[in-house]
Structure 1
Amino acid sequence: MQATSLRAVWPAILGLSVVFLVEMLDNSVLNVALPTIARDLNASASDLQWITTGYSLLFGGLMIAFGAIADRFGTRRVMLLGLGLFALASLAVLAVRTPGELVAVRAAVGITAAMTAPGTMALCFRLFDQENLLMRATAFISTVGLVGLAVGPTVGGLVIQVLPWQTLLVLNVPIALLAIVCIRSGIPADDPAQRNRAPMDLPGALLGTATIILALWTATLAVEDGWAQLAPWPAGAGALLCGAGFVMRERSTAHPMFDFALIRRPKVSAALAYQAALGLGMAVLTYSVTLQLQLVWGWSPAQAALGSLPQIIVMIAIGPFVEKIVERLGAHRAGVIGSAAAIGGLLTYALLGRYQYVWVAVALALTAAGMRVVMVIAAITVMRGLPEDQTSMGAALNDTSQEVAGSIGMAVTGTIVAAAISGSVTGIAADPHAFENAVTTATLALTAVCAALVVWAARRSSSPQLSLSATH
């Protein structure tokens, strides 16, 4: 029986919200403790790199594989198992004595977080049949995550002032336990009739996972080391080879992990194109704004953090109004207008952001408002466009498309900036105009790609017109 209000299923909404919250926190909260970790564990720069990227690589790379597993063995079951293992992996930080041990713990946390990620949206869809309630729940859950993203570094900084840095991971334990209790009590058990009965394609899962991890790692190496170094090239070649192998495997096997015919559906392909466009746009702002505020304009880290707040504030503030915007304009028109606002924000930053902070704030606000609307519409559309026995895969595909696009955007921006300045990012202060010109070039280039994706998605979804009704 479907719920008739969010209040009727508040334990489930609370559980799913805190799952998304902890995913957002784990992406950022530990970064503030890296200097302390380096001192306590005598960690090198390479160690710190693996501590931060080990989590994100495995989290982003394994979501699709765990989405496929959840569709076959039960989304709720995999979510609860993942939360339990996530708590144990986080608690293991208390035994860490060396940088290598911390890297292993972060990898385990990333793997277990990937187990829970696809279930957040998939289980939310299990609760509601009415589209307005589904949109309201999706907006609420994502708003909680954005609040965590906004306050994570601040909370982390306050915590390590009075407690050991290990506390930042140990705090995951009570959060995971709360989510387990809420989900067990608020979401019905998996219905065997709704599971994907196809055998699990293990070679396809391994090839797909390797492709994503290597692609993310290539982008990371390109940003940190530059293409002049050897490291990104073998990783990129490996990603291409694994990707080709994945496509060949999925097209030839009788039971593919993911049927490529599904992403040729107009609604699904349009929504994924919107998500990729947003990932590219978010990447250039994430990379450039903080560097500009600190290294070009001389702001302190605290001031730079405050300077980035318009994006988070607008995303949080507009959340409750997404449903009304879509109801008034229609999903198709709201998606187009939201995308136009995001592109307008990118153009504002590219052309005017170097002159005064007010233009940076306007750019952040416009992109945030547009992205917030489009994110919710695209996520729901991907889920509604796939069969019921592949909802976890749909949620994983939605998140992964944005994450991979974001990594590509970061690599492109970092490459263009590195080509314009000498040495590391600290060279920005020595030649700020070169940095500003490089950021303008990168932003305009990625904005052009974003616009092309948006135009293609709008055309793809306009006939038949994009709506949020189920089309299984």
Structure 2
Amino acid sequence: MPKEPAERAPRSPRSLREAWVALAGLSAVFLFEMLDNSILNVALPTIGRELHASTTALQWVTGAYAVVFGGLMLAFGAMADRFGRRRVMLVGLVLLGVASLATGFVTTAGQLIAVRAAMGIAAAMTTPGSMALAFRLFAEDGLRVRATTLITTVGLVGLAIGPTMGGLVLAIAPWQVLLLVNVPIAALAAVGVRIGIAADEAADLHPDPLDVAGAVLGTATIVPALVAPTLFVDRGADAWLPWAVTAAAVVAGILFVLRERSAPHPLLDLALVARPLVSSGLAYKAAAGLATAGLGYLVTLQLQLAWGWSPGLAAVGMLPQVVVLVAGGAFIRPFVQRVGLDRAARLSAAAVVCGLAVHGLLSRFGYVWVALALVLVAAGMRVVGVVAGVNVLRGLPENRTTVGAALTDTATEVTSGVGIAVTGTILAALFTGDIAASTWTTQQTAQFQQAVTVAGLTLTAVAAALVGWGIVRMRPAATGRATAPVDDTTPEYA
């Protein structure tokens, strides 16, 4: 039986300062996930020239990582809950270090894609564990929120500075250095986790055997669900392949649900997913993932193609989002203290929906409305990323926290792909001609703006439905317990 929080509290750190070694290691894990793709994207043209890679191969240099990462998170999350969270994370960090070192020997695009796939496996083994271990490290919700905020802030700083850092490195060093930087990050993470976090006790692990069939079906559902959006954008809604891959994801998803409902020891107990805190948190995270990916895609095209901004100026135009994502961490703790975890989740998710609506309705009237939409979505996502994730873990048994963290990451990955697919498909349907052409006709400009409006409002409607479902699901949890603001009587860590 899992131990009660009251039994763990005396052995839990009473401040972030006491757990700084562990938090440094866990922050390094999240930094790897956020920094990896952002720092590599700027090098894709160089990689293409040096490895003689086709456009499709370059797409899979980043796509292989994302697909493997998203497809295996649930399976590795379930394994970590059964065989040890720290053990699985340390194995993943070793794999990350080895795969990163292998970059120095890459001579073809296929070899690089294989290396990126291995890094995706490492990310699936480590990233969900970083949130789960941070949650389990502390006994109080106030410290859990602050620890999660710290870890995500470090990752978002990596996401923000990745392109700039990558450009500076490429000016003085070969592109392989951008992936070799993962080696010291993995080493730092391994030392922090090994020294700062105790090994899992047998009583805290999930005792049931691993549902291998469920793991296979879960992966078979998520992988095509992540591949399909790219196919819709690249080949268009008229092609048969995107629809075939989507159908495969749906069929695998149905089989996965049937398996989990009938298996004696399911990979993912659907009764746990139906718990109010869990289902509401997942709905909020899904809305945030949908909004962030969809809005980012729309704004990037709008600034550069419709308004003619240079890539550098467009990067400056995205700064309001970057500033809020990085600096917003300082406001999460007082906000949660003031309104409580549940209300913070509702309000921040509502901000995401409002940001999408602002862009869909008002972005045609100038950049100020685009900036406001970016700020609203980023602010909402910044809080949801912490609070909804904590709520999901609060709603699960303690021996299921890693698979719970994997579930939140999977929800975000899948809906991010859906957000890009929705916007790309609507643009393809409403815009005639070559969207990348240097000049547009008046008719094409009007078509693009119509597509932006339709896509923005479609995303708004979907995100609003997810948030509404989350609010409805939260009510049973709120009626059964107090929803007072988080008690924060612990010492400061600064």
**C-alpha separation in 2, matches of 1:283 and 1:448:** 15
Alignment of 1:215-230 (within 5 A): 215-230=225-240
Aligned residue in 2 for 1:131: 141
Aligned residue in 2 for 1:274: 284
**C-alpha separation in 1, matches of 2:270 and 2:173:** 49
Deviations 1:348-369 (A, max 9, x none): 1111112211111111111111
Change in Cα spacing, 1:278 to 1:428, as seen in structure 2 (3 Å) is: farther
Given candidates 239, 244, 249, the residue that maps to 1:234 is 244
Cα contact 2:277–2:477 (8 A) shared by 1: no
Is 1:410 aligned to 2:420, yes or no? Answer: yes
Aligned residue in 2 for 1:464: 477
Given candidates 87, 91, 97, the residue that maps to 1:81 is 91
Alignment of 1:9-20 (within 5 A): 9-20=19-30
Unaligned runs of at least 5 residues, structure 1 = none
The CA deviation at 1:231 is 2.1
Deviations 1:399-448 (A, max 9, x none): 11111111111101110011112345315952222111101101111101
Aligned residue in 2 for 1:175: 185
What percentage of residue pairs aligned between the two structures are identical?
56
Aligned residue in 2 for 1:372: 382
Given candidates 422, 434, 438, the residue that maps to 2:447 is 434
Aligned residue in 1 for 2:4: none
**C-alpha separation in 1, matches of 2:381 and 2:339:** 16
Alignment of 1:181-220 (within 5 A): 181-220=191-230
The CA deviation at 1:339 is 2.1
Cα contact 2:288–2:380 (8 A) shared by 1: no
Aligned residue in 1 for 2:401: 391
Q: Which deviates further from its counterpart, 253-262 or 227-236? A: 227-236
Is 1:360 aligned to 2:374, yes or no? Answer: no
Aligned residue in 2 for 1:72: 82
Secondary structure in 2 matching 1:188: coil
Given candidates 462, 476, 484, the residue that maps to 1:449 is 462
Aligned residue in 2 for 1:339: 349
Is 1:38 aligned to 2:53, yes or no? Answer: no
Runs of 4+ in 1 over 6 A off after TM superposition: none
Secondary structure in 1 matching 2:174: coil
Deviations 1:435-470 (A, max 9, x none): 11101101111101211221221122123318599x
**C-alpha separation in 2, matches of 1:326 and 1:116:** 27
Deviations 1:126-153 (A, max 9, x none): 2111111110111111011111111111
Aligned residue in 2 for 1:151: 161
Secondary structure in 2 matching 1:189: coil
Aligned residue in 2 for 1:119: 129
Cα contact 1:136–1:320 (8 A) shared by 2: no
The CA deviation at 1:112 is 1.2
Is 1:6 aligned to 2:16, yes or no? Answer: yes
Cα contact 1:12–1:183 (8 A) shared by 2: yes
Aligned residue in 1 for 2:7: none
**C-alpha separation in 1, matches of 2:236 and 2:151:** 37
Cα contact 1:204–1:246 (8 A) shared by 2: yes
Q: Which deviates further from its counterpart, 342-351 or 132-141? A: 342-351
TM-score, length basis structure 2:
0.92
Q: Please tell me the residue identity of whatever aligns with 1:327.
A: Q
**C-alpha separation in 2, matches of 1:141 and 1:234:** 39
Deviations 1:292-328 (A, max 9, x none): 1111111111111111111121122221221211111
Secondary structure in 2 matching 1:464: helix
Cα contact 2:23–2:147 (8 A) shared by 1: yes
Aligned residue in 1 for 2:316: 306
Is 1:400 aligned to 2:410, yes or no? Answer: yes
Q: Please tell me the residue identity of whatever aligns with 2:461.
A: A
**C-alpha separation in 1, matches of 2:384 and 2:49:** 43
Alignment of 1:98-117 (within 5 A): 98-117=108-127
Q: Which deviates further from its counterpart, 330-339 or 98-107? A: 330-339
Cα contact 1:416–1:438 (8 A) shared by 2: yes
**C-alpha separation in 2, matches of 1:464 and 1:110:** 35
Cα contact 2:16–2:143 (8 A) shared by 1: yes
Change in Cα spacing, 1:76 to 1:387, as seen in structure 2 (3 Å) is: same
Cα contact 2:135–2:148 (8 A) shared by 1: no
The CA deviation at 1:123 is 0.7
Aligned residue in 2 for 1:291: 301
Secondary structure in 2 matching 1:261: helix
Is 1:165 aligned to 2:175, yes or no? Answer: yes
How many pairs are equivalent? 469
Cα contact 1:421–1:427 (8 A) shared by 2: no
Q: Please tell me the residue identity of whatever aligns with 1:349.
A: H
**C-alpha separation in 2, matches of 1:132 and 1:263:** 24
Is 1:250 aligned to 2:225, yes or no? Answer: no
Aligned residue in 1 for 2:492: none
Q: Please tell me the residue identity of whatever aligns with 1:453.
A: L
TM-score, length basis structure 1:
0.97
**C-alpha separation in 2, matches of 1:107 and 1:153:** 21
**C-alpha separation in 1, matches of 2:201 and 2:312:** 49
**C-alpha separation in 1, matches of 2:81 and 2:340:** 31
Secondary structure in 2 matching 1:198: coil
Cα contact 1:428–1:435 (8 A) shared by 2: no
Aligned residue in 2 for 1:318: 328
